[in-house]
Structure 1
Amino acid sequence: MRDADELLDIVDEDDRVVGQAPRGEVYARGLRHRCAFVRVRDAEGRVFVHRRTAAKAVFPSLYDMFVGGVVGAGETYDEAALREAEEELGVSGLPRPVPVLRFLYDDGAGRSWWSAVYEVRCELPVDPQKEEVAWYGFLTEDELELRLAEWPWVPDGLAAHEHLRARRAMG
């Protein structure tokens, strides 16, 4: 199945399923759907960061501090988080990602999705998908903070990062 034909659940502002549509139609019409974001850390606690390929339909060539993607029709956030993390990292046998928070991403310009944020430790050697990942590395928190002002980042990933930062600040 081509990516554009993949069936996605359409959800309302309360994350209730209200229909289904192919991914291509979801993107073209700006329909609200679901996504899973996974912050991956290596054995030393560094964060997996990558630059998306130029061929990506959404946010091409931008940097991201999460792996993940859309939740398929009938799929749970948990299932999508594990599937997407293993696919993008090129690993199998990854521990189940731990859910941390959920928020509604909306850029005000027709891009809106419910976003479930997870964390996982990956001690396996990674071999990221060439179709998804143009460059990758593991950065310390300090290195990541420095790069936030220097590199062009995916806006939904930045939003997820800010939600995580706010959650940590609240204790």
Structure 2
Amino acid sequence: MSPEDEVLDVVDEHDRVVGRAPRGEVYARGLIHRCAFVRVRDAEGRTFVHRRTPAKLVFPSLYDMFVGGVVGAGESYDAAALREAEEELGVRGLPRPEPVLRFLYDSGGVAGKWWSAVYEVRCTMPVKPQVEEVAWYGFLTDAELERRLSEWEWVPDGLAAYHRLLAPGRLDGGG
């Protein structure tokens, strides 16, 4: 099945399921759907950063400090976070990612809006990132990541999630 044919839950502004549709239709019609973002740190506390492949449907070839993706129809955020992290990192047996925050992201017409559930996990095993998803990767210290924010072009939803993680007294945008 192609990514465009993957069936997603369509949700409302309060993250309640109101229907289902193929991903291609969800993006084309700007329907609200769900995504899971996972911030991965290695044993030294460095953050996994990668450049997306040019074949990605949304934000191709941009850098991201999260792994993750859409939540499939009937799938929980927690299950999607673990599945996506293991797939993109090319590992098995990853600890269950811990939920940190959730917010509604508006892509400004790129692919609609999506509820973004943000997680964190520690990965101490060697990674072998999925070549279909990851064109380049590295583990960056917090200082290196901060320096790269102004140098590289980042996925805007990941950048929004990153800034929310750093916000003092961050609030869960869930409803």
* TM-score normalised according to structure 2 size: 0.94
**Distance of 1:107 and 1:70 partners within structure 2:** 14
Aligned-partner Cα distance in 2 for 1:148–1:119: 19
Q: Which residue of 1 aligns with 2:69?
A: 69
Normalised by the size of structure 1, how large is the TM-score?
A: 0.97
In structure 2, distance between residues paired with 1:127 and 1:107: 30
Maintained 8 Å contact 2:9/2:74: yes
Percent identity, aligned pairs only, is 79
Q: How does 1:151-166 map to 2 (within 5 A)?
A: 151-166=152-167
Look up the match of 1:170.
169
How far apart, in 2, do the equivalents of 1:54 and 1:121 lie? 27
Partner of 2:26: 26
Is 1:101 the counterpart of 2:101 in the alignment? Answer: yes
CA RMSD across the alignment: 1.0
How many residues were matched structurally? 169
SS of residue matched to 2:148 = helix
Checking the alignment, whether the CA contact within 8 Å between 2:35 and 2:71 is kept in structure 1 is yes
The DSSP-based 3-state class of the residue aligned with 2:14 is coil
Matched, 1:120 2:121: yes
Displacement of 1:16 after TM fit? 0.3
Contact 2:29 2:112 survives alignment (8 Å):
no
Specify the alignment match of 1:10 in structure 2. Answer: 10
Segments of 5+ residues of structure 1 without an aligned counterpart are none
Amino acid of the residue matched to residue 50 of structure 1? H
**Aligned twin of 2:82:** 82
Alpha-carbon shift at residue 28 of structure 1 (Å): 1.2
For 2:139 and 2:108, locate their aligned partners in 1 and report how far apart those are by CA, in whole Å: 32
